């Protein structure tokens, strides 16, 4: 076992009836890093996270979470991992304080009162502690959920789409908090759909149809993707887009405001296909670095085709 | 014009409802299958004119007359002589524990006194806690007294035939001499109300967690299944005790139901009954997918409890197979205990035969519940 790894699993698989939710997944997350977990809806992100924290038993595969076996030592894992579910899963009919107090009791914390007070103060929920959790706005619910799963001082946080439906300011604050926690040595695995959030992770993994398609730092993922992207500004973008789609070497034509992003995996073929259009005076072509989104969409379509 | 009734929109709603109904298999089964089952079950089981009631005969006179009387009792079909106690103490125990519905005592020298025209008396004691269970049998008894000895009283004894009967039948309605229905119903309601509320509340308790998504959070914590089940049961035990107290007060103050036995004993045995019902609720909630299904299962359990336990209809009026089903239900035994304690003044020894079946039921249901409670989401 590698002490530098908070999560080290290999060959993880889970099927529900006919559906293969996770297929032979290997994941290595270093201690103290923020690891982004990306993938389309239904790609197996939630299933993977649930297997990591002992909520689901893998059909096959093995590995460790904080050094504990993911199949045999789920109890130890539960004691040391904070899991934030995708939907709000605290009690809507309890107040903020009552929810925190309940959580602290369940984890058998010795200094419960102080821990709850401290948690309320740190998250700025102290003056709203008597409000029912069900009456909170999305942003506040998310802060409460984070406070609750941090209460027992876990060494690993598993966050399942924590910022879905939360406004940009609250998302920014949330990510500042996550970076603060990582600075304290806590490992964070966070799933998200937002590319700007992916870019705030130390490393990330991309899965589709239950299979891991890429992992590494943002720049590694971009470099390894083998995708070439050109941007073009033009008078009639939509007409140009319609002409470009389907040409050899062009796999994506996506409008971004006044620009089109034209991407493909074969640089030479792509350039050959766009060369006639580069002559047009009204259009300005620039070679650009592909964005994460371009890459992931490319991978997702590739996965669908091969899967 | 757009406000007019549209067949298309109407059919859209009808079609959608049918699709949804078909998707929820359990609900569909409850609506179609269960009513048929219950119709057959209750249709054959329920009988408000119970016959073959267990009767103990204490005979101190071994004459032809005694034998004729016992034979006549059995021929009436209402009585079935199942026990022959040796003395009064044993007879008393049989009726107190509810093993005998009637005790018939034929005194010494019955035949001699009869022949001398002294009009001796036969004592028939009835367990009248449930007045409807004994009503018709007592009526049949009066009929039978008129003619029972006509065949024995021949020759010189012939003048003894006819009215009035040559002997007297004294009927003692024990425990509820005036045949007041409330004496039977009010203590019974305690069991019915507890069954209803306890099962429903706990049935909803766990499904609510699952429906609102809080179950996932709970499963991710180190909490153990037994801790969750026990933690959910205890608050409702307290609610149950509040209900018992209120019903007891109402029984005493509003309905003047006698409380002959120990209230402390009642409070003790009620614990087993409440626990059994809560366990049923929890077991349902580990099976039901949503609160609606938990509710339906509650009724599925509640209806036989109501009809087959002896609450609404005399237990002994049911055929043997239905009595067997009824004997599995905690309410059946609780009814006997609560009536026994309040109306008969039963002590622990007399109620024990009805206490242990509830204990066995409780253990079985908890075992199923714990097995069904999943620690994971698989």
**Interface confidence (ipTM) of the complex:** 0.79
3 state SS of B337: helix
Hey, what CATH topology would domain A228-289 get? Answer: Alpha-Beta Plaits (3.30.70)
Contacts of B193 (CB under 8 A, 6+ apart): B243, B247
Hey, what CATH topology would domain A5-222 get? Answer: Rossmann fold (3.40.50)
Q: Which pLDDT does position B2 carry in this prediction? A: 57
* Of A218 and B30, the one with more pLDDT: A218
* C-beta atoms of B216 and A85 within 8 A: yes
Q: Provide, as residue numbers in chain B, all residues whose Cβ is less than 8 Å from the Cβ of A106.
A: 218, 221-223
3 state SS of B116: coil
Span(s) in chain A for CATH 3.40.50.300: 5-222
Q: Which element (helix H / strand E) includes A47?
A: helix A45-52
3 state SS of B174: strand
* C-beta atoms of B221 and A78 within 8 A: yes
Interatomic CA distance for residues B266 and B274, integer angstroms: 12
* C-beta atoms of A57 and B216 within 8 A: no
Q: Backbone phi, then psi, for B304, in 5-degree steps?
A: -60, -35
Q: Which pLDDT does position A50 carry in this prediction? A: 93
Residue in chain B closest to A90 (alpha carbons) equals: B214
Q: From A178, A291, B215, select the one nearest A191 (Cα to Cα).
A: A178
Residue of A13, A46, A48, A50 to mutate, testing the B interface (most B Cβ within 10 Å of its Cβ): A50
Contact status of A102 with chain B (Cβ, < 8 Å): no
Segment A218-231 mean pLDDT: 89
* C-beta atoms of B376 and A88 within 8 A: no
Contacts of A59 (CB under 8 A, 6+ apart): A13, A14, A15
For the stretch A263-298, pLDDT in tens is 888 889 988 988 888 888 788 899 888 888 888 888
Residue in chain A closest to B221 (alpha carbons) equals: A78
In the sheet with B168-174, reading across from the earlier edge strand, the strands are B79-83, B53-59, B102-106, B121-127, B168-174
Check whether A307 has a pLDDT greater than 50. no
Q: Which pLDDT does position B37 carry in this prediction? A: 79
Contact status of A79 with chain B (Cβ, < 8 Å): yes
For the stretch A72-120, pLDDT in tens is 999 999 999 999 999 899 999 999 999 999 999 999 888 999 999 999 9
Span(s) in chain A for CATH 3.30.70.330: 228-289
Residue in chain A closest to B212 (alpha carbons) equals: A89
Interatomic CA distance for residues A154 and A160, integer angstroms: 16
Rounded to 10 degrees, the C-alpha dihedral B60/B63/B65/B70 comes to: 50
Rounded to 10 degrees, the C-alpha dihedral A237/A238/A243/A245 comes to: 100
**How sure is the predictor about A70, in pLDDT bands with cuts at 50, 70 and 90?**
very high
Interatomic CA distance for residues A190 and A198, integer angstroms: 9
Domains along the sequence of chain B with CATH: 53-174 (3.40.1710.10), 181-372 (no CATH)
* C-beta atoms of A85 and B212 within 8 A: no
Interatomic CA distance for residues B82 and B59, integer angstroms: 13
Determine the distance in angstroms separating the CA of B226 from the nearest CA of chain A, rounded to an integer: 13
* C-beta atoms of A55 and B377 within 8 A: yes
* C-beta atoms of A54 and B376 within 8 A: yes
Q: Which pLDDT does position B204 carry in this prediction? A: 87
Q: From B352, B350, B354, select the one nearest B332 (Cα to Cα).
A: B354
Per-residue pLDDT of chain B (378 residues; tens, 9 = 90+): 557 888 888 898 888 888 888 887 777 777 777 777 777 877 888 888 888 899 999 988 888 888 888 888 888 889 999 999 989 899 999 999 889 999 999 998 888 888 888 888 889 999 988 888 888 888 888 788 777 777 777 666 766 666 667 788 888 889 888 888 888 888 889 999 999 989 988 888 888 888 888 888 888 888 887 788 788 888 889 999 999 999 999 999 988 899 999 999 999 999 999 999 998 998 888 888 888 888 888 988 998 898 899 898 889 888 899 999 999 999 999 999 999 999 999 999 999 999 999 999 999 998 888 888 766 566
* Of B42 and A167, the one with more pLDDT: A167
For the stretch A11-43, pLDDT in tens is 999 999 889 999 999 999 999 999 999 988 888
Q: Backbone phi, then psi, for A53, in 5-degree steps?
A: -105, 15
Determine the distance in angstroms separating the CA of B298 from the nearest CA of chain A, rounded to an integer: 24
* C-beta atoms of A53 and B216 within 8 A: no
Contact status of A50 with chain B (Cβ, < 8 Å): yes
């Amino acid at each position: 076992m590698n002490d530098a790894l908070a999560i080290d699993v290999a060959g993880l698989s889970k099927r529900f009836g006919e559906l293969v939710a996770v297929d032979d997944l290997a994941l290595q997350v270093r201690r103290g890093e923020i690891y982004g977990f990306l993938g389309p809806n239904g790609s197996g992100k939630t299933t993977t996270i649930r297997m990591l924290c002992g909520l689901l038993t893998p059909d096959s595969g093995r590995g460790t979470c904080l050094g504990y076996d993911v199949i045999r030592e789920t109890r130890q894992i539960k004691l040391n991992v904070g899991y934030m579910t995708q939907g709000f899963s605290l009690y809507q009919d309890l107040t903020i304080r009552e929810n925190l107090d309940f959580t602290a009791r369940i984890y058998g914390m010795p200094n419960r009162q102080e821990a709850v007070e401290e948690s309320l103060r740190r998250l700025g929920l102290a003056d709203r502690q008597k409000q029912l959790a069900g009456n909170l706005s999305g942003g506040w619910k998310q802060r409460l959920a984070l406070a609750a799963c941090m209460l027992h001082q876990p060494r690993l946080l598993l966050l399942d789409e924590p910022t879905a439906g939360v406004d940009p300011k609250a998302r920014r604050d949330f990510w500042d908090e996550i970076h603060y926690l990582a600075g304290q040595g806590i490992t964070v695995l966070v799933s998200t759909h937002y590319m700007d959030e992916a870019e705030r992770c130390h490393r990330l993994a991309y899965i589709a149809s239950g299979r891991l398609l890429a992992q590494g730092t943002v720049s590694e993922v971009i470099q390894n993707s083998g995708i070439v992207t050109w941007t073009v500004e033009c008078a009639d973008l939509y007409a140009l887009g319609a002409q470009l789609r389907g040409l050899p070497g062009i796999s994506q034509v996506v409008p971004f405001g006044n620009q089109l992003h034209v991407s493909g995996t074969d640089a030479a073929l792509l350039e050959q296909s766009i060369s006639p259009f580069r002559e047009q005076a009204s259009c300005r072509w620039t070679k650009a670095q592909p964005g994460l989104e371009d890459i992931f969409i490319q991978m997702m379509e590739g996965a669908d085709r091969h899967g | 014009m757009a406000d007019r009734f549209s067949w298309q929109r109407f059919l859209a709603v009808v079609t959608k409802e049918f699709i949804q109904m078909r998707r929820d298999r359990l609900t569909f089964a409850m609506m179609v299958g269960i009513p048929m089952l219950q119709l057959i079950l209750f249709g054959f089981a329920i009988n408000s004119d119970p016959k073959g009631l267990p009767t103990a005969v204490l005979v101190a006179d071994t004459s032809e007359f005694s034998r004729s009387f016992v034979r006549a009792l059995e021929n009436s079909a209402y009585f079935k002589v199942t026990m022959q106690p040796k003395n009064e103490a044993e007879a008393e125990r049989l009726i107190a524990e509810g093993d005998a519905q009637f005790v018939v005592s034929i005194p010494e020298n019955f035949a001699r006194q009869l022949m001398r025209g002294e009009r001796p008396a036969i004592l028939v004691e009835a367990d009248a806690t449930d007045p409807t269970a004994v009503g018709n049998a007592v009526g049949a008894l009066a009929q039978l007294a008129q003619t029972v000895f006509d065949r024995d009283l021949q020759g010189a004894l012939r003048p003894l035939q006819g009215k009035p009967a040559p002997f007297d039948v004294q009927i003692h309605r024990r425990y509820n001499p005036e045949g007041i229905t409330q004496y039977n119903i009010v203590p019974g309601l305690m069991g019915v109300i507890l069954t209803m509320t306890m099962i429903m509340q706990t049935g909803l308790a766990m499904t609510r967690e699952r429906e609102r998504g809080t179950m996932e959070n709970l499963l991710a914590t180190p909490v153990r299944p037994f801790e969750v089940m026990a933690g959910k049961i205890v608050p409702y035990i307290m609610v149950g005790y509040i209900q018992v107290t209120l019903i007891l007060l109402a029984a005493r103050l509003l309905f003047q139901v006698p409380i002959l036995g120990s209230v402390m004993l009642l409070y003790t045995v009620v614990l087993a009954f409440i626990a059994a019902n809560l366990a049923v609720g929890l077991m349902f909630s580990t099976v039901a997918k949503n609160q609606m299904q938990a509710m339906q299962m509650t009724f599925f359990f509640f209806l036989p409890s109501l009809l087959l336990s002896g609450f609404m209809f005399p237990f002994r009026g049911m055929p043997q197979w239905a009595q067997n089903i009824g004997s599995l239900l905690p309410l059946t035994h609780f009814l006997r205990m609560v009536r026994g304690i309040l109306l008969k003044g039963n002590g622990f020894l007399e109620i024990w035969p009805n206490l242990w079946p509830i204990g066995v039921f409780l253990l079985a249901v908890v075992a199923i519940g714990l097995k069904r409670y999943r620690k994971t989401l698989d």
